[in-house]
Structure 1
């Protein structure tokens, strides 16, 4: 079944309209929204507590100090929280395909991807932004970094490119649902697995896995490679220096791959019926 033709601005406009609709729906239950938002904030903070527990036993982890690891954690968490806010509607796709309700998405004269990304949007995910932002600010204050214009640009670009890469991972995880509806755990390796791997220095995973997370699934370009540049830290794996500034290229490449994979999945989709 082919995706309906649409005007160039139809997809972003449709996405924003759907986000507004879901937000107004959730806002009818304000107390629940606030409490679940606080819950998101608290549960997200648990991983941060784990980092402090680790550093209560060691002063350096994988060659990185606590402020340096907090920088990795903060940029990763902030980029992921933004992508989770924008694109995690993809998590509902497997159920939609299994129940046959995805057919309704296809018959609407609106971008299918915009509809799926905005599905069941909820502002409660804003709660994840709070600890991520606070951690990053903390790290920036404690880091002994001489901030120059290029380093500031790379720091901001780390969050932006990480956000784009995570959104691409969300879309690719959605494409897996067209192949195996019950493969949710496999799909989560592209999203939550990538997030976990980015929170810590890649050196703790060893060289083979570190290379895989650089050249197979480009998790290293979310935070690791640009952070090496910002922190002035040598690459423990001895990779070329130009990779530290390659996050925009990786984000563009994987975004294009995600869009192509989505279009191919839509073309090959066969309804499961109702």
Structure 2
């Protein structure tokens, strides 16, 4: 019941902000197109690479497109849902978090929907198009397609947990807004490329410490029939939901601890 209430509140606030943004249709359209264009810049870089090399880290164009599309789509969904939460530090400095705390709505929901705009959905379009193109070029079974859908959903939840963790860190690192983006925005940039391009120690870190490898890399190795450069057993490919659930618990604990120890600015 509590979860359903949170979702209803999020939808209500998101709808309110969307109606406000729709009062300026031309501006909303231009910003949406801009979001689509900015997302496509990274893809342009990958295309340029493949004009010079036929294989990137053991992955062909369709396989690399699969990684890119899955990572970007998961991130775009999470950014749309809760990405605005990383503005927490600004509210702490301005004293406006105090106002959120006295309202009968979760402050996290208020942060997540603040200035909500459908323009963020523009990031979903190119990511979805690339993923659809790559899947049409790959020999995927119905089970592989189902696993792809689950992978994207799990990746979106994983990124959402990282957004909450990044926001929670700002209870301590009030000026750490830009630094925390290294985990969220830096995470999607890293996961859109084959991890076989990175050093083994780095890949271990994003597999066992911050489980970004489970956004798309580990599941994709199974779907695409690729060997794991680290030589990990096959069952590791399916640990994404477990590690994501653990990360969500850590994020929830960090958020509640931050709120519990927060001291009003007195403004």
TM-score range, shorter chain: over 0.9
Q: How does 1:63-212 map to 2 (within 5 A)?
A: 63-143=58-138, 145-149=139-143, 151-212=144-205
What 5-or-longer segments of structure 2 have no aligned partner? none
- Deviation (angstroms), 1:242: 0.7
Aligned residues between the structures: 267
RMSD over aligned Cα atoms: 1.3
TM-score (norm. length: structure 2): 0.97
What is the CA distance between 1:88 and its match in structure 2? Answer: 1.1
Match of 1:41 among 32, 36, 39: 36
Contact 1:92-1:119 within 8 A present in 2 as well: no
Find runs of 4+ consecutive structure 1 residues off by over 4 angstroms. none
Q: State the distance in 1 between where 2:260 and 2:17 align.
A: 28
1:106 Cα deviation (Å)?
Answer: 0.5
Q: 2:57 aligns with which of 50, 53, 62?
A: 62
Match of 2:238 in 1: 245
Secondary structure of the structure 2 residue equivalent to 1:40:
helix
Give the whole-Å Cα distance in 2 for the aligned partners of 1:8 and 1:55: 45
The answer to whether the 8 Å contact 2:92/2:174 transfers is yes
Query: Gaps (5+ residues) in structure 1?
Result: 1-5
> Does the 8 Å contact 2:86/2:164 carry over to 1?
no
Deviations 1:208-255 (A, max 9, x none): 101001011100000000000100111111112111111111221111
TM-score when normalising by structure 1:
0.94
Shift of 1:146: 4.1
- Is contact 1:194-1:219 (8 Å) kept? yes
